[in-house]
Chains A and B, each alone.
Chain A
């Protein structure tokens, strides 16, 4: 009898598990966030903008007129005193549970970024439902406008920027790496600067053309602490990446030996960078050794053809261009902005830990006054599938 009662009780208890998780959320109950933007509006309040995916746009229908015709996202904003406050305001407007897990980008408007984005990173790192791997970017103007733009090939602008990240055209930084740079002494963060540009047209039969706007990477925002103090354009960005020893894409053009014509285009693949500090108690010097790899992309007519003998000269000329570009960005950081965005301070800390203790709080000044000597070596590896351009031999 006892056993029977016990098994009955067990059965009843077990049936309570049958409905499954009582606080489950189905996809149809979620508002899936693709990207989030944070702005400071004129009244000093904070506005959070969400780019929420509209699921209907993502079901099948790739062929023919897909993508274009259906709207893919809903962009909605909420305001509040703090970031969390703004999120709470959004929760009232969005009729579903806000699902943060797939949020891939965090865009901060420059109004907010100039006054400090520490509270933004705090909110998103503390949150727990957002990923630490989302990409941080700064935009001139409003983050809302950035998120309101759609993309042609991708359905949402947040997706498009993630793809830009994947193919490495610029530089991207995940939230946790940004937080690490914010927390560390001896390096100041740089964050991709994105903007919306007019990019081409979509010809539509019978209707003419429609202008297309596309999110693009425009360079980098330079920080001091958690505040944006300046900008680097794409040219300077690439030099900065070389100095950091990062992998890069994109070509530079090396002038021909006699200075006539555009010269040879080479693609810099990236390489290694070594920063060696030298300090004798008074004067601070840095020796920077760059070792870069490059491929030949295009030769113009008046160049000597690429052969075993001429590659050496191409190497030296490439190195010269790289050195000049790196010096440019270094001077900009030292003279215009006065912040160490390269991690010279960290290199110094590693070699002179005792001196660092007193220098770490005035590092910006010490860095600005430091003497930097840059030595570049470049190696051209691939020359492509042809040795001499078509039509050369006739002219020569």
Chain B
């Protein structure tokens, strides 16, 4: 099935690309919409829950060495229920992948290439990702390792716009109360909780014992980058304007203007996001393909690459309505409870509890 192995560093970087590219674009606006200037508190809440998810999924994975999230449910719950759960996860990855496709197509269409039909972006990004997925996890991780240093540019952008930042914009702290902060936490948790993808990667780590460290470091780094993007947007724009932008991080880069000389950096950021979004799509795409192959107990997953790609493209048009507002609606209203509660916490927790009771998996100290 999958012959490649990735090391801990590659796994951490891959988990970062799994979460960050689209999250940095959309998380600040939605979180701030709920929690106003306390959005960073929301993020800390989400981060602590995500750490628990990370520990949970690694613990579960280590009980079944060499087996992915698509295989061990069968061992724990028996063939029929296991297959159903596996099928659900395949659907989950398909949904995640198609959402990435949709977000990127719409974002590119809205910001830099308004005259190009959306379907062009959709086909192109899926075609490139299909090639990477066909070549396997190792190739995807190596590519990711190549470009991820680019995210250092985000730090430079942050520094460049710091001239306009004002700490008073996040004051007073804890103005909105507890409920909005918790509501705001759901959205970033949706992203940070994607660490469940570790359930797919874990068997292919060259040192599985380091999996805990990988998952925790990756989650902390993700949290840090999201925190920076939320704080950056808040310090620049204040809560009201941040909530009003669709892509606050993009606008934060657009308003960098030092003496009319140092300005217009948005294309650099776009390149970064495009590369990241492509890896992100690759990860989910890979998950869906590998899952399907293991579900059907195939020898090789490669014949499934193109069919799954077509499904991804179709879903990206079918699931999310016609425009950005519909996509937002999908995430804020329909998407969050289902994915966080079911796929990121619910099922892993259920699996672990059943396994603890029945003791099928290898005991770990």
Contacts and interface: CB of A to CB of B under 8 A. Distances in A.
21 contacts: A23-B115, A128-B110, A128-B111, A128-B114, A131-B254, A132-B251, A132-B254, A132-B255, A176-B237, A176-B255, A179-B241, A180-B237, A180-B241, A183-B240, A183-B241, A184-B238, A184-B240, A184-B241, A350-B168, A350-B171, A350-B172
A358 to B, nearest CB: 14
Interface string A277-306: 000000000000000000000000000000
Given A132-B254, A179-B244, 7 more contacts: A132-B251, A133-B263, A174-B257, A176-B241, A180-B237, A180-B240, A350-B172
Contacts of A132: 251, 254-255
Contacts of B263: 133
B168 A346 contact: yes
A227 interface: no
B2 interface: no
Contact of A166 (B172, B240, B241, B260): B260
B244 A183 contact: yes
Interface residues of A, number: 19
Interface string A170-182: 0000101001100
Given A133-B257, A166-B260, A353 B241 contact: no
B299 interface: no
A166 B168 CA distance: 26
B326 interface: no
SS class, residues of chain A in contact with chain B: helix
Given A23-B115, A128-B111, A349 B255 contact: no
Contacts of A349: 172, 175
Interface of B: 110-111, 114-116, 168, 171-172, 175, 237-238, 240-241, 244, 251, 254-255, 257, 259-260, 263
Nearest to B173: A353
A353 B170 CA distance: 12
Contacts of A180: 237-238, 240-241
Interface in A100-144: 128, 131-133
A233 interface: no
A21 to B, nearest CB: 10
A275 B111 CA distance: 40
Contacts of A185: 240
A128 B110 CA distance: 8
A351 interface: yes
B172 A353 contact: yes
Q: Which 10 A-B pairs have the closest CB atoms?
A: A183-B240, A353-B172, A350-B171, A180-B241, A133-B257, A353-B175, A350-B172, A183-B241, A132-B255, A176-B255
B255 A133 contact: yes
A174 B115 CA distance: 28
Interface centre among A166, A176, A346 (most CB of B within 10 A): A176
Contacts of A179: 241, 244
Nearest to B243: A183
